[in-house]
Amino acid sequence: MRAFLETYFDPTNLRLSVPQVWAGFKTNLEMMAIAEAFVLVLALTLAIVRGLPGRAASPVRALAVLYTDVFRGVPLILVALMLGFGLPQLDAGWISSRPFLVYGVAALVLVYTAYVTEVYRAGIESVHPSQRMAARSLGLTYAQALRYVVLPQAIRRVVPPLLNDFIGLQKDTAIITVIGVVEALNLSQQFSTDYGSFTGYTVAALFFIFLTIPLARFTDHLIAERERRERALAM
């Protein structure tokens, strides 16, 4: 037991590792914030494309389906490696002064957009078709019915699962360390090498836990509120 505590919870190493790991964790937060902003917009766009009616829209619907199928099937770590080590071979270093951060965020966006697209699509399909037909009968176009009738209801319904996906996204930012991004896992590994202690990993884990728990509890609160409203409407 003593050896376990000294390995993972040594007080001196805890104190020493916090500033170093926190410096990396700020990069995790940056990647999470940027990726979430892109995912929210791109996934909603793809979900709308997948629901476009008519034969003329079938090619773009097929492309949207292909995208979600491909990027839900490919592991995030593989996408990160393909972008992080493949794009530099294409002389894409002009992308940014921090190219590997860009590649890491791009990998997160590509993969999580596919998952969140399906969340949005489920929300859109959960709105009864009669509401769309009623909106059209009042003279609204398809786009207006989608904007003013369908999407407001669909987005409210999918907020809890969206938050669950973003909890996964913020944890998966640690995977981006495989392409050389200096973030919490990378710096905790450096601390472990320098000091011969795994306490840095413990600190990194605590940072992720402290971020995840409030999001998880907020998600539970939203689910409970939705269930309470549904029970009230059913009475």
Give the model's confidence band at 157: pLDDT under 50 very low, under 70 low, under 90 confident, else very high.
confident
Is the pLDDT at 138 greater than 60? The verdict is yes
- What pLDDT is recorded for position 92? 55
Long-range contacts of 149-155 (CB under 8 A, 24+ apart): 150/124, 151/124, 153/123, 153/127, 154/120, 154/123, 154/124, 154/126, 154/127, 155/120, 155/123
Per-residue pLDDT reduced to its tens digit, 23-79: 999 999 999 999 999 999 999 999 999 988 888 889 999 999 999 999 999 999 999
Report how far apart, in Å, the C-alpha atoms of 35 and of each of 41, 106, 234 are. 10, 8, 38
- What pLDDT is recorded for position 39? 97
Q: How far is CA 42 from the centre of its chain?
A: 12
Return the number of other C-beta atoms located less than 10 Å from residue 95's C-beta: 14
Query: How many domains does one find in the chain?
Result: 1
Which residue in this structure is represented by tokens 């669950």? 164
Per-residue pLDDT reduced to its tens digit, 69-92: 999 999 999 999 999 888 777 765
Q: Which of residues 6 and 161 earns the better pLDDT score?
A: 161
- What pLDDT is recorded for position 21? 93
Does the pTM exceed 0.85? yes
Per-residue pLDDT reduced to its tens digit, 169-224: 999 999 999 998 888 999 999 988 888 889 999 999 999 999 989 888 888 888 78
What proportion of the chain, given as a percentage, has pLDDT over 90? 48
Is the pLDDT at 136 greater than 90? The verdict is no
- What pLDDT is recorded for position 31? 95
Interatomic CA distance for residues 19 and 13, integer angstroms: 11
Asked if residue 61 lies in contact with residue 52, where contact means CB atoms within 8 angstroms, the answer is yes
Interatomic CA distance for residues 226 and 24, integer angstroms: 37
Give the model's confidence band at 93: pLDDT under 50 very low, under 70 low, under 90 confident, else very high.
low
Which residue range forms the structural domain that includes residue 61?
A: 2-234
CATH number at residue 199: 1.10.3720.10
Enumerate residues 6+ apart whose C-beta is below 8 A from 87.
95, 99, 103
